[in-house]
Structure formats: structure tokens, C-alpha cells
Structure 1
Amino acid sequence: MSFSCKIVCSIFYLFLFHNDLKAQEIVESFYQDSLTNGEFSNLKSEFGNHKTVIADYEKQMLIALSYFPELKDVKIVFRLRNRKTPLATRPTFFSMFCSAKKRTYVITISKKSTNYLNTIIFKNLNYNAQIGVLGHELSHISDYLNKGFGKMVVIAKNELLSPTEVDKREFNTDLDCINHGLGFQLLDWSINVRENLKRANWLGAVNLSNDEKSERYMNPSTIMEVLSKHPLYQEH
């Protein structure tokens, strides 16, 4: 099966699975002033429950959360830390032993990384790209809701021992983000990262090789191909 055929099959599989989840309309670009005070209050009331947000990024977080209605009642903590990896999402250790919907998930946003990676930490991304990368991280949580303890252990093991499996999981997480309606924001993030790093491909903070064939995170050209075929984005 060709790469394009795999993309199309993946789109329609994920779309059929998630087509009842989209809460918001497709928007090409969000800006700091995109929300009125009333809209901000409504989003906070509807999607801010059980969420610990970062005040400086609350609007971006609420916009991204609004595309994931299945996470309304899930406990999510956004936090700032000095980390090499720009963003990472994990359940807390003890909540791993709870049912998936009763876990507490933590999205760690790096406020300081290496000199090279500082160019792509959250605060240095444009507004629309910030929402895109939050959508990617929330897509991880959406996926974790379907995984019990055993499958979560397999994910943790693969992160240590199987880069190929990590490539597949991150790539499919990008597809999931697109299916939730944040495709244009993901595209902005993909472009923003590659422009800031001055490289054509981005394989993650711990894998800065010059390999241009592997595609752990979708390259902009791939995202544009997916959007061009995706039923949610046809009007755009």
C-alpha cells in the first residue's frame, strides 16, 4: 500500500471513530483577540472544569480543550517546568492504577530547554501554533482514555525500547488532532517548529538526527495532503 493510500485509510478510520466528538467549527487561525469576554467565559464554564491551567496561556488551553469534549470531566493539570522536551503528557503514577477516565493527566510545558530547543518551547511559538501543539498533547490523552493499565505499560516500554513504535504513535496522534478539528493549528505548529529550528524534519527533542525519511511528527507537506482529502476541511 502506498504512503498516500495509508494516509487516506487512516483519515477515514479516525474520522469515522471521532466524527461525533467535534465541538467547535474549523478555524484556520486563532489570535490573542479571537475570543470575546463572553466567549472566553463560556469556554471556561464548559471546558475548564477539573482542569488546572496556566494563567498566561488559559485562552489557548481552553480553545484547544473545546475541540475535545470527551475530556470535559477528565482531570488535566497543565504545568511549567524546565525540561529539554518542549511538551510531554503523562498520567500521574498513582492514577495509572485507576480506570482511564478517573486518572489525572499532566501536560508539562517546558519554560526553559537547551539553547537550540529554546527556539521551539511553548512561549516562542506563535499563538495558532500553541493551540496546535496543545491539540497534539490532548490527542494523547484522548487516546489514553481507551487504554487500560497493561496498554499504558506497553506505551512506556515502547518509549524506551522501540523508536519505530513511537514514530507510529506520534504520527497517528497528529492524525487524531486533525480529526478533532485542529488541523490548521497543527500545520502552523509543524511549520513554526521547522522554521525556528531551521531544519526540514523534526523527530523530537531526543532525536535530532538528520534523517529526512522518518516522520515521527507530520511534516507540513503531509499535513496539507491530509487536509486536502479530509471531509472536515473541504470547505477550507
Structure 2
Amino acid sequence: MLWGSIAGKANAQYSPETYPNEIYTQEKYASKIDSLRKLCGHRKKIPQEFELQTLLAISHYPDLYRARIQFIYRKKVQLPIAARPAMGFLDLFFRFRKGRQYKIVMRTNTPYMLNRTFDEQVGIIGHELAHIQFYRHCSSVGLFRVGFCYLTSRRYRWRFELDTDQRAIDFGFGHQLLRFPIYMYSRDIKAYMKTKGFLK
């Protein structure tokens, strides 16, 4: 099983053998949801309609198995889905990095998610989790710096998202991004996957 193979091998996330050319389907993985909840569902608040997709995506990120992650629906947000660290006083100044909370904010009834295949939804959530994987290693000052640059510089924002796509590929989502590219072009995804050994 995919999640069983990485439970004790946190350093295997870059291995093409760990993450093969997998097409996720609800039919194939619905019976595994209890195992996934046990592996990486702790401290998560996930809407039922995206629970399996999210757990499958989290299973690629051993660092996030016990991270505090909450999905939030909002009617009026700029992006259809976005991951961000919680910016409360406790989170920024009193919690260690491993104890921070993270939010995945999704626009209510957004076609961006609802009109995708199950596999594409896993890939989209995998991209957002790549943001959280990055945030986990930032100091509070670093988070402020990233947020400021993201909001004020279009060039920084584009580079940041391209780097996030690459990080998602590193953790095994290249085939999902090929089926539904988010920021990188398909040709660049293929080229990067080849450098990582995910494509021959």
C-alpha cells in the first residue's frame, strides 16, 4: 500500500518507486479511508466531500501527518482554493513551527474543484499541501516576508507558485499535474519529472 510504504520512510518522498504513475479513483481507494485516517487524519478538519482526496494527498507528505490543517469554505475569496498559515497571535508567537495551524480556504461551490476528476482534485490539493510543507520550515518572520512579497510582487508570486508545483512533483504529484497543469506548462512538468526520475 502506498501509505504503508512511506509511514516509516520519511526520506523516500523523492523516489519514483514510492510514487508510481498512479491514477487515483474513488472506487479504488474508498475502502482504504479508515487506514488513511489512522495514518494521516489526526488533527485535520476536512469536509466529507473532499476527505478521501485530501487524505490521499497528505499521504505523500510524512511531515504533515500530524500537522493541524483545517478546510474553510468562504463565499468571497480571490482564489478558488489557497493554503495559508493561521496568523493568530498564538500561532505566530507561542507555538513552535510543528504546532502551527494551517488553513486551506476554498471558495464555496467553486467549479475549479467541483468540475475536476477525482485524480485532478488529489493533484490540486497536493499543490496546496506543498505550500504547507514549505510554510512548516519558515520562521514567523519568514512567513511575514513571504506574505508581503506574494501580495506586492507579481514576479515573486509567479516564481513562488512555480516552485510549489515543483515541490508537489518532488512529492509524487507530477502525473496529476500533467493531467491538470496548475502553474507550470505541461512541457516543463515533463522536463522536471525527467530530472527527478519520474519519467523516462
Coarse TM-score class (shorter-chain normalised): 0.7 to 0.9
CA separation in 2, counterparts of 1:70 and 1:103?
13
CA separation in 1, counterparts of 2:20 and 2:72?
27
What is the aligned partner in structure 2 of residue 177 from structure 1? 168
What is the aligned partner in structure 1 of residue 150 from structure 2? 159
CA separation in 1, counterparts of 2:23 and 2:144?
37
The within-5 A match list for 1:10-159 is 19-21=11-13, 25-37=19-31, 39-82=32-75, 83-94=77-88, 95-97=91-93, 98-112=95-109, 119=111, 121-159=112-150
Q: 1:24-82: CA deviations, max 9, x gaps? A: 53233111212152x22111111100111110111101100000111111100012222
Residue 21 of structure 1, CA deviation: 3.4
| Aligned-residue CA RMSD (Å) | 2.0
TM-score (structure 1 length as normaliser): 0.72
Q: What SS is found at the alignment partner of 2:34?
A: helix
Identical residues among aligned pairs (%): 26
Aligned residues: 185
CA separation in 2, counterparts of 1:30 and 1:103?
29
Alignment equivalent of 1:221, drawn from 173, 177, 187 = 187
What is the aligned partner in structure 2 of residue 206 from structure 1? none
Q: 1:88-137: CA deviations, max 9, x gaps? A: 1111121133322111000011124xxxxx54x21111211111110110
CA separation in 2, counterparts of 1:28 and 1:105?
27
Residue type of the alignment partner of 2:28: S
CA separation in 2, counterparts of 1:27 and 1:47?
22
CA separation in 1, counterparts of 2:25 and 2:81?
21
Q: Any gaps of 5 or more consecutive residues in structure 2?
A: 1-9
On the 8 A contact 1:135/1:186 being kept in 2, the answer is: no
On the 8 A contact 1:130/1:189 being kept in 2, the answer is: no
On the 8 A contact 1:22/1:69 being kept in 2, the answer is: no
User: Residues 181, 221 of structure 1: CA spacing in aligned structure 2 closer, same or farther, 3 A cutoff?
Assistant: same
User: Residues 49, 188 of structure 1: CA spacing in aligned structure 2 closer, same or farther, 3 A cutoff?
Assistant: same
CA separation in 1, counterparts of 2:58 and 2:81?
16
User: Residues 45, 22 of structure 1: CA spacing in aligned structure 2 closer, same or farther, 3 A cutoff?
Assistant: farther
Residue type of the alignment partner of 1:222: D
On the 8 A contact 1:111/1:123 being kept in 2, the answer is: no
On the 8 A contact 2:54/2:122 being kept in 1, the answer is: yes
Runs of 4+ aligned structure 1 residues displaced above 4 Å come to none
